[in-house]
């Protein structure tokens, strides 16, 4: 797609500030819609639907949940993107897709979703990062930064090293850190070069009544570090 259609990098950096990744298994019996609404009230800037792992919904129930969460995001003007599943993203008219190295290539996904939708790609090496950018990624997901219990097949923990390495190589693409990030650690991730943090358990694994203030706490730490 023409470069002019693409969402501007400075806008992408803002969207990555406080990025919630969520699926029903992460919400441990709480209503995912309620958790997402509370997180939106706290100020999350981007939401990814990642319906994976033990107990994940499938078929029409998965589709229905995606639509409900997307509607909540639309009401707040927050973009909603889908992990891995380009068909689902196109079916619900999502704002973008996030893929890993095991999924379809970034170039194929970019061709399918067009220039306007957001494309995020997980990268674990400078080579993967360069290839993703060449193939049309709008941002890179870098991690796991810290140990995580939220992804069964997570790569080895890398700390903030790759983030700072990519920045020192002059790779300026928007980047978000992921994996084990808490509000107390968010500043270190941003100071290493990330534009923001992506989190699952720090938002979905706390009591629903603490989600909103938890997100606000993250945003305070992130702003201090930018």
Q: Is 70 annotated as a binding residue?
A: no
Contact between 177 and ligand TZP by CB under 6 A: the answer reads no
Active-site residue, 122 included: yes
The reply on whether position 185 binds ligand TZP by CB under 6 A is no
Residue 199 interface partner, choices ligand TZP, Mg ion, none, CB cut-off 5-8 Å depending on type: ligand TZP
Binding track over 132-151 against ligand TZP, x by CB under 6 A:
-----------xx---x-xx
Quickly list H helices, 144-193. 161-168, 183-191
Q: Check: CB of residue 92 under 8 Å from CB of residue 70.
A: yes
CB of 179 to ligand TZP, least distance (A): 3
Active-site pick, 122, 185, 212, 221: 122
C-beta of 93 vs 147, nearer to ligand TZP: 147
Nearer to ligand TZP, 78 or 99 (CB): 99
Helix axes 32-42, 59-76, angle to 10 degrees: 20
Residue 147 burial by CB count (10 A; 0-12/13-18/19+): exposed, middle or buried?
exposed
Burial 33-57 (b: 16+ CB within 10 A, else e): eebbbbbbebebbbbbbbbbeeeeb
- From its phi and psi, is residue 174 left (phi > 0), alpha (psi between -120 and 50) or beta? beta
Min dist CB 223 to ligand TZP, Å, is: 20
Please identify which of the residues 6, 17, 110, 151 carries the catalytic annotation: 151
The kind and range of the H/E element at 209 are helix 208-225
Catalytic annotation on 76? no
Question: Considering the rule CB under 6 A, would residue 181 count as an interface residue with ligand TZP?
Answer: yes
Q: Which among 36, 43, 3, 20 has a CA at the least distance from the CA of 208? A: 36
Residue 96 interacts with ligand TZP (CB under 6 A)? no
Q: Is 154 one of the binding residues for ligand TZP (CB under 6 A)?
A: yes
> Per-residue x/- mask for Mg ion, residues 123 to 162, rule CB under 5 A?
----------------------------------------
Q: Does 104 bind Mg ion (CB under 5 A)?
A: no
Torsion of Cα atoms, 182 then 184 then 190 then 194, to 10°: -10
What is the set of active-site residues? 50, 122, 151
In the complex, which residues of this chain contact ligand TZP (CB under 6 A)? 21, 143-144, 148, 150-151, 154, 178-181, 199-202
């Amino acid at each position: 797609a023409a470069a002019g259609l693409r969402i501007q990098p400075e806008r992408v950096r803002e969207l990555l500030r406080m990025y919630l990744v969520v699926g029903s298994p992460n919400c441990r019996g709480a209503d995912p819609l309620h958790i997402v609404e509370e997180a939106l009230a706290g100020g999350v800037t981007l939401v990814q639907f990642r319906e994976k792992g033990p107990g994940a919904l499938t078929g029409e129930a998965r589709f229905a949940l995606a639509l409900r969460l997307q509607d909540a995001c639309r009401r707040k003007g927050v973009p909603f993107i889908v992990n891995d599943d380009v068909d689902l993203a196109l079916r619900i008219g999502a704002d973008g897709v996030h893929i890993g190295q095991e999924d379809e290539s970034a170039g194929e996904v970019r061709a399918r979703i067009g220039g306007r939708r957001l494309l995020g790609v997980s990268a674990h090496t400078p080579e993967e990062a360069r290839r993703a950018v060449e193939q049309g990624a709008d941002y890179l997901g870098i991690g796991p930064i810290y140990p995580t219990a939220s992804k069964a097949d997570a790569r080895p923990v890398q700390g903030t090293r790759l983030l700072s390495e990519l920045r020192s190589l002059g790779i300026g693409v928007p980047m978000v850190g992921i994996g084990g990030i808490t509000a107390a650690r968010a500043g270190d991730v941003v100071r290493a070069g990330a534009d923001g943090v992506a989190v699952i358990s720090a938002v979905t694994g706390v009591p629903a009544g603490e989600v909103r203030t938890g997100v606000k706490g993250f945003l305070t730490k992130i702003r201090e570090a930018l």
